[in-house]
A = this chain, B = another copy of it.
Amino acid sequence: MFRALVVEDQTLMRLALMNEVQASFEKCVVLGAETLNIATVELQNNHFDLVVIDPGLPGFDPTSQGDRVAVVDRIIEASPSAIHIVVTGSDNRCEADGFRRIGAAAYLGKTGLAPGVFSDVLDDISTKGFSLRLSRAVMTKPDYRFSVLTPREQEAIDMMAHRAPGVKRKEIFSLMADRLAIDAGSAEKYYKQARAKLMRQGHPLPQGL
Contact = CB atoms under 8 A, between A and B. Distances in A.
Interface of A: 1, 5, 9-18, 20, 22, 25-35, 38-39, 42, 46, 56, 58-59, 62-63, 89-90, 110-115, 135-148, 201-204
Contacts of A31: 142-145
Contact of A140 (B14, B38, B144): B38
A141 B31 CA distance: 10
Given A26-B147, A140-B38, A12 B13 contact: yes
For the complex of A and B, list the 10 residue pairs with the smallest distance between their C-beta atoms, beginning with the closest: A12-B16, A32-B143, A34-B139, A10-B110, A30-B145, A11-B114, A58-B137, A31-B142, A9-B111, A33-B142
**A interface SS class:** loop
Contacts of A26: 147
Nearest to A27: B147
Nearest to A90: B62
Number of chain copies forming the complex: 2
29 contacts: A9-B137, A10-B113, A11-B110, A11-B111, A11-B112, A11-B114, A12-B16, A12-B20, A12-B114, A14-B143, A15-B16, A16-B16, A18-B143, A18-B145, A22-B145, A22-B147, A26-B147, A31-B143, A31-B144, A32-B144, A33-B142, A35-B137, A35-B139, A38-B141, A38-B142, A39-B142, A42-B142, A58-B135, A62-B90
A29 B145 contact: yes
Contacts of A1: 201-203
Nearest to A14: B143
Contacts of A56: 89
